[in-house]
Amino acid sequence: MTEQAISPLRRRMIEDMSIRKFAAKTQHDYVQRVKDFATFLERSAATAEAEDVRRYRLHLTASGAGTPKINATVAALRFFFKVTLDRPDLVKHLSFIHEPRKLPVVLSPEEVARFLEAAPGIKYKAALSVAYGAGLRVSEVVSLKVSDIDSKRMMLRVEQGKGRKDRHAMLSPVLLDLLRDWYRIARPQGWLFPGQNPVSPMSTRQLTRACHAAAHMAEIAKRVSPHTLRHSFATHLLEQNIDIRVIQVLLGHAKLDTTALYTRVATNTIREVMSPLDRLTPLRPNKDETKDATKQETKNETKAEPPA
């Protein structure tokens, strides 16, 4: 596959995605998945046939590709064949894989406190506190601007979050004080958490590395990522008996089913539920039943003794 052979095709695919206003990251990922397919074919992806698609699916499975990568490849190739090449006949060979939903990793409030105190510097402590204190995704944290802090209404403005939707997140007094401390120290202009080059925001990878460092310093054995803080935010709110529909709005979930996942890890909520067994008439035997049972056990033990 040469650059000269792929460039017009790639350009057309990018144009097709731009028309549909795909995010820049989505465009990059789709192009990369198609490039991987072309590398496997050792020729242009435009020449692919049904058997080529089938062989590539087998190759991904045999090479140990995870479900997220396979589904990302399927999405990219479906778009490529159906839209860019206008060959919908190949799409029927591309189906998504259902991945069983796993319980999210959640930190206890004590672990969160240790974790945040172990953050490598005030900048990362503030950013990670936003992830936990407002329940933001890592991409939403790094995209915050100074102007997104609304201290009068005690809200954070999240612009173009997942699904390119704007929403408001909660801003607690403790988080506001921490952000003010960060602002007094660094005086950020534009981006609330600028990167090494102040013109650009801090990268998600940079914040993830800081997250791993904080977990290590806090001696937390669980596998912690910035998204773990979002999971913990939702779970702790649920354990405080906050209505799940309110939590859905705070997280920016389109479907309540997504938020309902946290009911499976809210251990305080589970512990506080009374079992229907506990509501029954006490099952303990009365005194007469206890005496009869004791006599019967004594008789059985006597019969069981071997002769002298």
93 is catalytic: no
Q: Do 223 and 216 meet the contact criterion of CB atoms below 8 Å apart?
A: no
Output DSSP code: residue 280.
S
Selected catalytic residue, list 93, 230, 231, 236: 230
Active site residue 43: no
Q: Is 126:139 a contact under the CB 8 Å cutoff?
A: no
Q: How far is CA 199 from CA 84, 145, 191, 207, in A?
A: 35, 12, 8, 17
Give the dihedral of Cα atoms 188, 141, 158, 105; nearest 10 deg. -160
167 tagged catalytic = no
Could you say which of 137, 167, 231, 236 is catalytic?
A: 137
* Nearest-5° Cα angle at 148, 142 to 152: 140
Cβ pair 169, 155 in contact under 8 A: yes
253 is catalytic: yes
Please give the angle made by the CA atoms of 38, 43 and 47, to the nearest 5 degrees. 90
Q: Is 202 left (phi over 0), alpha (psi -120 to 50) or beta?
A: beta
Q: What are phi and psi of 158, to 5 degrees?
A: -105, 110
Non-local (6+) Cβ contacts of 266 within 8 A are 235, 238, 239
Query: Of residues 55, 157, 212, 253, which has the active-site annotation?
Result: 253
- Contacts for 43 with CB less than 8 Å, ≥ 6 apart: 1
- Among residues 69, 82, 162, 168, the one annotated as catalytic is 162
Q: Distances from the Cα of 49 to the Cαs of 12, 19, 88, 127, in angstroms?
A: 20, 27, 12, 48
Structure tokens that stand for 200 in this block: 């650009």
Q: Which residues are catalytic?
A: 137, 162, 227, 230, 253, 262
